Structure 1
Amino acid sequence: MSQNLDTGVETGLLPRERRRFSLRLRVMMAILAAAVAPSLLVFGWSQLDRNVQGHMWGRVRDVAEAALPALDDPHELEQLAREYKVRLRVVDAQGSTLFDADADAPGDPGSHVEAFFLGAKDAPTLREFDEQLGPMLARADVVEAKRSPDGKYVGCDFLPLVFCQAIYVTPRDGVPRIVHVQQSSNRAVLEVYTLRAHLFRLSLVVVLPMALALAFYMGSRVVRPIDTLRRQALAKATAESPDAKLLPERRDEVGVLADAFNVLLMALEKKRADNEAFVADLVHEMKNPLAAVRAAADTLSEGVDAPRAERLSRVLRDSTSKLDRLVTQFLELARAEAGMPNEERSDVDLTALVRGLVERLRDDPRHAQVNFALKGEAANASPALVRGVAHRLDALFGELLENAASFAGQGGQVVLALAVTSTEVIVAIRDSGPGIAPEDRAKVFTRFFTTRGRQRGTGLGLSLVKAVAEAHGGRVAVLTPESGATFEVRLPRLK
């Protein structure tokens, strides 16, 4: 099997380099990312929570600094407390409260998110916590601020709630006063840090090893059936007689993909068989006129009299004319089956087109005894617009009308009916001829199939009709009337 893979690379069936990130690696990375995502999320959230105390620390310090020059202005102190959402107090040397404004607002969007995932915290409010600390002058933080050379203390704590406070001791008229600023937060900083530590240990010991094992297993499970299909495809591509059948090992999405590939391969195989049959038919059709040309050339090389030279000349003209007609129709058919690329399309009025064709056939001496009739929109001369290549559509309906007139014969009738729906233009051409045998109806659009004999047709006309109709987004079908033959062409209507 490795030999087939090497052959595939050498012959260009496979690229020499794989993509930088293979499917197996991407599956493994996705599983590992899902496994470590909770830890990464908690770690990132803890980095956000780390800034909570830093912001509160700076805020209480700034408020305390701003409050010092405004100790005798209660209105300005009130504005400071409300602007910064803090609790601001001023206490005298005896511990009496001179000013107290509580604008502390501990809730924020982050705290609501943490409460949803971690549960609501059972912690006291800032005022309840402060009442538990006892008299202001006896508190250790106040004592530390008094002992400090600059009379300041700024600090934060986690328990029993997240809060920061600034204590500034400043003399006022020779009497010390204490400026006390506090702010709290409902953020679960300690819980997030604790959860981060637990998740890190759990991920390192349990989740990561399991994720690695699962990632390796799932990567192999996903890629292995695809590798199997790849090896089968390469083996068939390098076999002497490749067949269009892949055998998936599982009946899951990969199995469905293999079925889709099998449908594609069978369609390609059918196309290849059709092309081979087409080439064989073309060669067969060309053999007779080529044989006649060769025989005439051989005879001329031996020398002939004038009457015989005239006959040979006529044979050469007929044979070359048939070859020219055959090659021309073959090229037209190939272009039509390719979708008529690079051919300019325009708005075409089918009513005017088919009426012009009918008038032309009425003036043709070959069909002088054939009665042509128009029905529906064609009889009323109502416009029926489609988007297409005008000369191709002219050839399509011209071929159908010529066939109908030929089979109707002298004294026969050809009826052309045109109808317009909301989405289509429908043209039906019926003749009063002998009709089409039931066993031949499925073959009338097959290349080189003809019921008129080799001398009167190449068998490519109806194949070309079908190809042109499909190249315009339409379709053609042979119907089964009570008498004669009816061909129906449906083309998308131009809105």
Structure 2
Amino acid sequence: MVRGIVLPTTVDTLKPDASIAEQEESPLVWSARWSLTTRILAVNILAVALLAGGFYYLDTYRSRLVDTRIEVMTDQLALLDSALEAARPDQRDRLIAEFTAATESRLRFYAADGRLLSDSFATGPATYTLRDPNLQAWQRDAARAMDRGIDWIVGAPSYPDFREPAIDRAAAWPEVIEAQQRGKVAARFRYAPERTPLLSAAALLDLDTQQVMLMTLNARDITRTVRAERFRLAVVVAMVLITSILLSLFLARTIVQPLRRLARAAVRVRLGRAREVVVPRLPSRRDEIGTLARALSDMTQALRQRIDAGEHFAADVTHELKNPIASVRSAIEGLGRVGNHEQRAQLLAIADEDVRRLDRLVNDISEASRVDAQLSRTLFEPIDVGMMIESMLAARQARIDADMPHPRLAFARPRKGTTLVMGDGHRLERAIDNVIDNAISFSPAAGLVCIAATRLGDEVHVRVDDDGPGIEPAQREAIFRRFHSERPPGEAFGRHSGLGLAIARTIIEGHNGTISAKDRDDGRSGASLLITLPAHENGTTDS
């Protein structure tokens, strides 16, 4: 048998699927041991954690509030200094009292030697009160504990606690000493006992006298503002966290549970319980999980069919081999008991015929068992079916004995390049040759076997018509089964294994094609076998 005609082409030949290693995604490293539910929760909680990063922003927001308030205090001290210089001595106390009342601050004045010259709390009412945390409700303790926790999480700078000096002198205030030494406004941030910001700023009043003015302020409003924003953010984060966890659990339920059902079914199939396992198809799901379920179900069904086919094939092989083996045994046993030369020759002829039949059976069985595996590893190439059939018929004609009667073969050759398909030329030749052999075996010696190859749309059709008795509608599917034994009248028993058309169907279906039997289109007696293959679009169409 000649090889199929392989045409040159400018495109790459069709290759089998990429290797598994190429199709695998990058391996999971840090989450390889995590369950799918844990991964979903981790990803969603990570998103919430990013939202919780707003607490870092609030720490920056508080720092900006403190810096802004210190700048305002610095400007206020400069304005007060100017106002005190312009005021009469008898107006100074009233000006200081109005200033402290308006700014809710405390003013102290120190001499060059560090003595306290005056204190607005001594000359007027106190504008703020440092509260004792031990006398406050537990809610305040909880709020302060939360403040410390958030400050620790965000890495906020640590500020000293404020303690009112037992002896109020300039040396007790580092900002006063700094203002005297540098001649500039110096400021400090401290925490009051109840953990509210206590801001202080010192300014030098007169370079000659070295008197310093100290302004202190308990900025409770900064704490209230920051706590309120933190509370709002915490409520948002809590709501998002709860929602994210619920959605994660819902998502895990909709993904993980069906995957577990599929995994359990697959394990049962692997353990050899395929027949009693029903792989869920999840028909209501239209997502990837549903696609996977239906693919696994179809794969399981295909696996069952292949197992059944293998079992049936083994049983059929055993049955087909038994008859010729029994005949050979009977002939050999008879040789020992028969002394007549003619009878011995007859028994030897029977044994020879049975051995030849066994040889045909073994060859065809070997071919039938290998064809699936070989097709899965074959690299398909562009094949011109018309040229391939023409070469096949020429080689067949050269082998025919001219003295023996045989049906004539007629081939309607298509235009070159119009019947291109992707395939394995050797296998396609075997399939078409088996179909032609079947047509010849059913046609009378003076009959005509017509072969045609045409291109119809995106398909290539190969039709083989014979002059035989035709095929009953009920038998048109059975003829493609293995070891189908319905043969034409008068044919010697055992000349055909019954595997030719079964092998042809396997090869054609391995090329994504179909093969079927029907009556001839011209109404004449006989059968018509039609092979349909996908056309190859990238070939040339030379006439």
- TM-score normalized with structure 2 length: 0.57
The one of 51, 54, 60 equivalent to 1:51 is: 60
- Secondary structure of the corresponding residue to residue 61 of structure 2: helix
Where do 1:219-368 residues align within 5 Å?
Answer: 230=264, 243-244=275-276, 246=278, 265-302=300-337, 304=339, 306-338=341-373, 340-343=375-378, 345-363=380-398, 364-365=400-401
Change (3 A) 1:352 1:164: farther
Shift of 1:60: 8.9
Q: Which residue of 1 aligns with 2:528?
A: 486
Shift of 1:452: 1.2
Where do 1:406-485 residues align within 5 Å?
Answer: 406-421=441-456, 423-452=458-487, 454-481=493-520, 482-483=523-524, 484-485=526-527
Shift of 1:403: 1.9
The one of 144, 150, 158 equivalent to 2:178 is: 150
Give the Cα separation in 2 of the matches to 1:43 and 1:134: 44
Shift of 1:301: 4.4
Change (3 A) 1:331 1:40: same
Give the Cα separation in 1 of the matches to 2:98 and 2:390: 110
Q: Is the 8 A contact 1:352 1:383 kept in 2?
A: no
Give the Cα separation in 2 of the matches to 1:42 and 1:381: 69
Shift of 1:382: 4.0
Change (3 A) 1:395 1:455: same
Q: Is the 8 A contact 1:233 1:246 kept in 2?
A: no
Which 5+ residue runs of structure 1 have no aligned equivalent? Answer: 1-18, 68-86, 98-132, 158-162
Q: Which residue of 1 aligns with 2:230?
A: 193
Give the Cα separation in 2 of the matches to 1:165 and 1:452: 111
1:172-218 Cα shifts (integer Å, max 9, x gaps): 8769999x9xxx99x974333223666899999xx79xx89x979x9
Give the Cα separation in 1 of the matches to 2:253 and 2:438: 63
Q: Is the 8 A contact 1:408 1:431 kept in 2?
A: yes
Shift of 1:309: 4.1
Give the Cα separation in 2 of the matches to 1:333 and 1:429: 22
1:305-364 Cα shifts (integer Å, max 9, x gaps): 654443333223221221111111112112223352444543322111111223334442
Q: Is the 8 A contact 1:335 1:341 kept in 2?
A: no
Q: Is the 8 A contact 2:268 2:277 kept in 1?
A: no
Q: Is the 8 A contact 1:423 1:493 kept in 2?
A: yes
- TM-score normalized with structure 1 length: 0.61
Shift of 1:447: 0.7
Change (3 A) 1:136 1:488: farther
Amino acid at match of 2:81: A
Give the Cα separation in 2 of the matches to 1:221 and 1:356: 57
Q: Which residue of 1 aligns with 2:93?
A: none
- Secondary structure of the corresponding residue to residue 455 of structure 1: coil
Q: Name the stretch that deviates more: 260-269 or 349-358.
A: 260-269
Change (3 A) 1:336 1:41: same
Change (3 A) 1:220 1:436: closer
CA RMSD, aligned part only? 5.5
- Secondary structure of the corresponding residue to residue 348 of structure 1: strand
Shift of 1:53: 2.9
Q: Is the 8 A contact 1:349 1:385 kept in 2?
A: yes
Establish whether residue 169 from structure 1 lines up as the match of residue 203 from structure 2: yes
Q: Which residue of 2 aligns with 1:4?
A: none
Give the Cα separation in 2 of the matches to 1:386 and 1:220: 44
Change (3 A) 1:228 1:334: closer
Amino acid at match of 2:61: V
Q: Name the stretch that deviates more: 306-315 or 455-464.
A: 306-315
1:125-176 Cα shifts (integer Å, max 9, x gaps): xxxxxxxx9859974668469873323225599xxxxx99995635787699
Q: Which residue of 1 aligns with 2:162?
A: none
Shift of 1:441: 0.8
Give the Cα separation in 2 of the matches to 1:468 and 1:277: 19
Q: Is the 8 A contact 2:512 2:534 kept in 1?
A: yes
Give the Cα separation in 2 of the matches to 1:462 and 1:233: 37
Which 5+ residue runs of structure 2 have no aligned equivalent? Answer: 1-31, 86-96, 111-169, 171-175, 180-185, 192-196, 216-220, 539-543
Q: Is the 8 A contact 1:449 1:460 kept in 2?
A: yes
Give the Cα separation in 2 of the matches to 1:305 and 1:315: 15
Q: Which residue of 1 aligns with 2:122?
A: none
Q: Is the 8 A contact 2:371 2:507 kept in 1?
A: yes
Give the Cα separation in 1 of the matches to 2:529 and 2:269: 46
Amino acid at match of 1:149: I
Change (3 A) 1:219 1:361: closer
Amino acid at match of 1:150: E
Change (3 A) 1:409 1:172: farther
Give the Cα separation in 2 of the matches to 1:398 and 1:463: 13
Change (3 A) 1:406 1:193: same
Structure with greater Cα Rg: 2
Give the Cα separation in 2 of the matches to 1:96 and 1:346: 102
Amino acid at match of 1:153: A
